[in-house]
Structure 1
Amino acid sequence: MTRAHGTLARYHVDKCRCELCCARKSSYHTGRTRQIAYGRWQPYAAPESARAHVAYLIGYGLSINTIADMAGVDHECVSDLMSDAHERGLLPASAEALLSVRFDLDLVPGRSFIDAAGTRRRVQALATLGHSVKSQATALGRLANNFNDVVTQVRVFAYTARQVRDLYDEWSSNPPPDTHGAKVARTLAARKKWLPPAAWDDDWIDLTDAALEIELRRQAELMGDVEVRRCYDAFRKKGERSPLVVAAAREYDRRLYRKQVAFA
Structure 2
Amino acid sequence: MTTATTREAPHHNTLTCVKDYNCWLPACRDRYKAYQRTRYHAITAGTWEPLVDAAPVRQHLTRLYAAGFSPNRIGELTNLPYETVIGFTQVHGFSGKRRSRKRRCNPETAAKILAIQPGEHLPGKTDATGTRRRIQALVAAGWPLSHLGPRFGLSERTTGALLTQDRVYGRTAEKVTRVYNELSDQKPAKHGISRRSITRSKARAQRNRWATIGYWATRADAIDDPHFTPDYKVTKAEILAEETRWLIETVGLTRTEVAERLGKDRSYIDRVLLQADVKAAA
Q: TM-score per shorter chain, which class? A: 0.3 to 0.5
Give the TM-score, by structure 2 length.
Answer: 0.40
Between Structure 1 and Structure 2, whose CA radius of gyration is higher?
A: 1
Q: Which has the higher contact order (CA 8 A, sep 6+)?
A: 2
Give the TM-score, by structure 1 length.
Answer: 0.43
